[in-house]
Chain A
Amino acid sequence: MNATRPVEQALWWLAAVPATMVIVVGFGFPLVQSVVASFTREGVLTLANYELVYRLYRQDVAYTIQVAAAGLALTFGIGIPLSGYLRLHRSQTAEFLLKVPLFVPFVVVGHAMRIFLAPRGTLLVGLHALGLASQDATLGIGEGALGLAVALAWKHLALVVLLLMGAFRGVGEEYLEAARGFGAGTFRQIWAVLVPMAAPSIGLAVVLSLTSMLASFSIPLMMSKGSGPQMLMIDLYYRYGQHGDFGVASAIGVVSYILAAGAAYYYLKGVTR
């Protein structure tokens, strides 16, 4: 199709402009603007915004990384053995159930987890009904880092299992049969064959989930109780929304870009491969 007439080619180009403009105006330009804003205060170039971020939010940076790491550990600690097991022993019911969180919006996950993990939330109600919790028990995880990590893992597990199952299915049956023929059980087939052979995809899934958890906003917003350490995106939102402090909010944003940039690098590399 090298014979496309120049006029038609130009028309295609022109037709591609609106979509491209949306991204440039709605994402590219704001991205640049926020980086610039993070270095300016009342029109003057300065590092003052970052000083403030360091002074007020350095613990929250650590907290954010902790929560993301815990969420990641939970997601993959469960996701890898689970996907491996389901690759070896197909269960349509389990696979269907695991897809459900994919279709539950982040805000809804946040709200559902809030009432589920609350000090006297529906989880505790259930435990009490089963006789597993006393009448004056309270659940201590809902508003802390652990509750957040659980909620993030709940939402991300679906995507991770989907990605891992895809990768594990890509491993030919004969590689597993060869191992099974020598007596390798489920566990060894997963760790000695599936995981190493699907390592690149697992890496991509880790990076994807990490970026998403570091930048998570709706889930912590729904679950946060407003005191104690916060996720960075919550800080950013309040800094911007309540204090109207775009400079500091942008500086927090740039910190999150840097956290995500390393991961995004691998992500894009993985996607283009």
Chain B
Amino acid sequence: MAASGRRSAQDRPRGLSSLVLRAALVTVLLVAIVGPLAGLVLWSVAERWHWPAALPQQIGLKFWIRITQGDLLKALNRSVVIATVTTVAALAAAIPVSYGAARARLPLGPVVLMLFLLPQAFPQLPVFASATVLFYRWNLAGTFLGVVLIHLVGGLVYTVWTMTAVFRAIGEDVEEAAINLGASVTRTFFRISLPLALPGVVASAILVFIYSLDEFTGTLLVGAPYVTTLPVYMYTASLGYELQIASVTALVLMVPGILLLVLLERFLRAEYLAFFGRL
């Protein structure tokens, strides 16, 4: 019976040795994965920490308060605004491409899809450096618009690919039913297809938002010296050996991702997750 695959996990007896092994595995993973991140937390509250104390000699929120003021707050604000604009633009630009590709109405659809993958499959830095040279020529370097553009370059793949998959999953028959009843193709799209695709739209919006928030390479090159987002701010802080500021920034940067991981763990499908590795 086909059910055998699903069952087997509970079928097997659990021996003591296997329980010990599993406990050991989880412990090792916990140390290896949480360990480096725990260092960030400690440094973010360490007002004074000298070797070889296990914990900082003086603990306080002095550096966390910087979030609410000055440069850090400005960088945070700018990051959020850029990520929002990038997300909206990426959605608007991607929907027609995804829909066209999913319904095979866009000639050369597969080739176009590959095109969006390129920025994630190729070394970004040399291309972004080259783009910066161009952006200087067009007076886009160091501007808000320039940074959004470079974020779109890397971010469009998330919206285009996720939504193509979503549109493909929506049966063409529901659209044909509407058209059969006299609706135009455009009306069908906005009244039938798009509402059905809403979960996918939200998923891809989250993906591109986080990508934009975390984007470093392109922003460092194109944004310099006027547009400082959170990752760039963190880099500058760490260059100046302000470990605490850098650690606070790092933790702030991790918040959206971890939130997403915890909240959406069940709902995030493997293929959505796979994109995250390329951030």
Within the complex, which residue of A113, A123, A253 is in contact with B123, where a contact is CB–CB below 8 Å? A253
Rounded to whole angstroms, the CA-CA distance of A212 and B122 in the bound complex is 8
**A residues less than 8 Å from B216 (CB atoms):** 105-107, 218
Q: Is the CB of A272 within 8 A of B273?
A: no
B85 beta carbon closer than 8 Å to chain A: no
If A23-B118, A233-B125 touch, does A163 touch B274 (CB 8 Å cutoff)?
Answer: yes
Name the interface size band of chain A.
35 or more
CB distance from A162 to the nearest CB of B (A): 6
**A residues less than 8 Å from B25 (CB atoms):** 85, 91, 94
Q: Is the CB of A116 within 8 A of B39?
A: yes
CB distance from B162 to the nearest CB of A (A): 14
Chain A stretch 195-244: residues in CB contact (< 8 A) with chain B: 208, 211-212, 214-215, 217-218, 221-222, 233, 236-237, 240-241
Q: Is the CB of A100 within 8 A of B270?
A: no
CB distance from A271 to the nearest CB of B (A): 7
A56 beta carbon closer than 8 Å to chain B: no
- CB nearest to B261 among chain A residues: A103
Q: Is the CB of B51 within 8 A of A125?
A: yes
- CB nearest to A23 among chain B residues: B115
A257 beta carbon closer than 8 Å to chain B: yes
Which of B32, B36, B112, B134 has most A Cβ within 10 Å? B36
- CB nearest to A264 among chain B residues: B121
Q: Is the CB of B36 within 8 A of A154?
A: yes
Q: Is the CB of B125 within 8 A of A99?
A: no
Q: Is the CB of B258 within 8 A of A98?
A: no
If A26-B131, A103-B258, A112-B36 touch, does A135 touch B126 (CB 8 Å cutoff)?
Answer: no
Chain B stretch 116-139: residues in CB contact (< 8 A) with chain A: 116-119, 121-131, 133-134
Within the complex, which residue of A98, A107, A128, A129 is in contact with B253, where a contact is CB–CB below 8 Å? A107
Q: Is the CB of B116 within 8 A of A23?
A: yes
CB distance from B167 to the nearest CB of A (A): 12
Chain A stretch 77-108: residues in CB contact (< 8 A) with chain B: 85, 89-91, 93-94, 96-108
Q: Is the CB of B277 within 8 A of A30?
A: no
**B residues less than 8 Å from A115 (CB atoms):** 39-40, 43, 243, 247
Rounded to whole angstroms, the CA-CA distance of A156 and B274 in the bound complex is 11
Q: Is the CB of B125 within 8 A of A107?
A: no
If A26-B131, A98-B29, A159-B276 touch, does A126 touch B35 (CB 8 Å cutoff)?
Answer: yes
Rounded to whole angstroms, the CA-CA distance of A96 and B263 in the bound complex is 12
Within the complex, which residue of A94, A102, A211 is in contact with B276, where a contact is CB–CB below 8 Å? A102
**A residues less than 8 Å from B182 (CB atoms):** none
Would you mind naming 6 contact pairs between A and B with Cβ atoms under 8 Å apart? Answer: A23-B156, A26-B119, A89-B18, A106-B216, A177-B8, A237-B129
Interface residues of A (CB under 8 A from B): 1, 4-5, 8-9, 11-13, 15-16, 18-20, 22-31, 33-34, 37, 85, 89-91, 93-94, 96-109, 111-116, 120-123, 125-126, 128-129, 135, 154, 156, 158-159, 162-163, 166, 172-174, 177, 208, 211-212, 214-215, 217-218, 221-222, 233, 236-237, 240-241, 246, 249-250, 252-254, 256-257, 260, 264, 267-268, 271-272
Interface residues of B (CB under 8 A from A): 4-5, 8-9, 18, 22, 25-26, 29-30, 32-40, 42-43, 51-54, 92-94, 96-97, 99-100, 103, 105-107, 110, 112, 114-119, 121-131, 133-134, 149-150, 152-153, 156, 160, 172, 175-176, 179, 184-186, 210, 214, 216-217, 221, 231, 234-235, 238, 243, 246-247, 250, 253-254, 257-258, 260-261, 265, 270, 273-274, 276-279
Q: 14 other contacts beyond A30-B128, A109-B36, A116-B39, with CB at 8 A cut-off?
A: A1-B179, A12-B99, A15-B96, A30-B127, A94-B26, A97-B34, A98-B29, A103-B260, A106-B216, A108-B253, A135-B52, A173-B8, A214-B123, A246-B133
